[in-house]
Structure 1
Amino acid sequence: MKPILLTLSVAALAACTSSPAAKTAETPAETRRAITQLLATQTAAWNRGDVATFMQGYWRSDSLVFIGKSGLTYGWQPTLDNYRRNYPNAAAMGQLRFSDLRVTPDGPEAAHVVGRWHLTRPGLGDLQGQYLLVLRHLNGEWVIVADHSS
């Protein structure tokens, strides 16, 4: 009798803890596609001169960190403020292009991207560099939680 009771208890516990409706983790290929789409959306926003929409790809948190030539910036709003100060209009923003992208899933909830960026800015001079992005899957979407651009 005890083995049957134990078996029924284990089966009931398993039924309560597993849900057929639960979302399975993304595959590495799905993660790469989602992050590549995020970067494409950011690029399109930047190239329209829309910094606010570009920033939607970043974690809206005081814990966001941006590392650039001027040092460390913590927080979503200070990062947005820096972008607006350094790129005050569409001409200064130029046209952004990412290349040599390497999107690497680091697990179901984290990934990083290494690549190059290039801004074409006629009359102002082009800018370019490399970057490392750290992303997390938060609230159902991928967001940049750390950006080291040089």
Structure 2
Amino acid sequence: MRILLLACSLLLTSSIFAQTTDEATIRDLLQKQQEDWNRGNIEAFMQGYWQSDSLMFIGSSGVTYGFKNTWERYKKNYDSRDKMGELKFDLLHVNRLANDVYMVVGKWHLKRTVGDVGGIYTLILRKISGKWVITSDHTS
């Protein structure tokens, strides 16, 4: 009986530790994206996204599919430092949906000389090949 209780306790502890570690990794990924954006480095910012044709970005102009198309969209819409401004993320919810899937809901704000903008986002992140990446981004 003691062995069963010990095994259950170890399993629960390791699961909680993994969840805490994964959440911290995801928070770090989003912090790095914010820092990369604020350095004007869209290429580095995009490293948080899944480099797949199945990546989905949903914005005010509709759905964009694929990493390359999403990158091109960012480069077109934010083609100057004035348009990029300074990005601030505020995470509202970081929820584990499965062992390899998280949903993040947050606010974004761009402080810019050409006019501030902001809104809400919902991200789906998956752990693929040992790395957490954004597989779906719905930003409004």
With the length of structure 2 as denominator, give the TM-score of the two structures: 0.86
Percent identity at matched positions? 45
- Distance between the aligned counterparts of 1:33 and 1:91, measured in 2? 31
SS at match of 2:136: strand
How far is 1:101 from its partner?
2.9
Aligned length: 126
Whether the 8 Å CA contact 2:57–2:136 is kept in 1: the answer is yes
The answer as to 2:42 corresponding to 1:33 is no
The answer as to 2:136 corresponding to 1:146 is yes
SS at match of 2:40: coil
Rg comparison, structure with higher value: 1
Whether the 8 Å CA contact 1:48–1:90 is kept in 2: the answer is no
The C-alpha deviation readout for 1:72-111, integer Å capped at 9, x for no partner, is 0000000000000000012210000011431111121100
Whether the 8 Å CA contact 1:65–1:75 is kept in 2: the answer is yes
The C-alpha deviation readout for 1:3-45, integer Å capped at 9, x for no partner, is xxxxxxxxxxxxxxxxxxxxx7662211110100000010000
With the length of structure 1 as denominator, give the TM-score of the two structures: 0.81
Question: Considering only aligned residues, what root-mean-square deviation do their CA atoms show, in Å?
Answer: 1.2
- Distance between the aligned counterparts of 2:51 and 2:74, measured in 1? 15
The answer as to 2:105 corresponding to 1:114 is yes
- Distance between the aligned counterparts of 1:65 and 1:141, measured in 2? 18
Kindly provide the amino acid, as one letter, of the partner of residue 72 in structure 2. Answer: D
Q: Which consecutive aligned stretches of 4+ in structure 1 deviate over 3 angstroms post-superposition?
A: none
The answer as to 2:65 corresponding to 1:74 is yes
Structure 1 stretches lacking a partner, 5+ long: 1-23
How far is 1:60 from its partner?
0.0
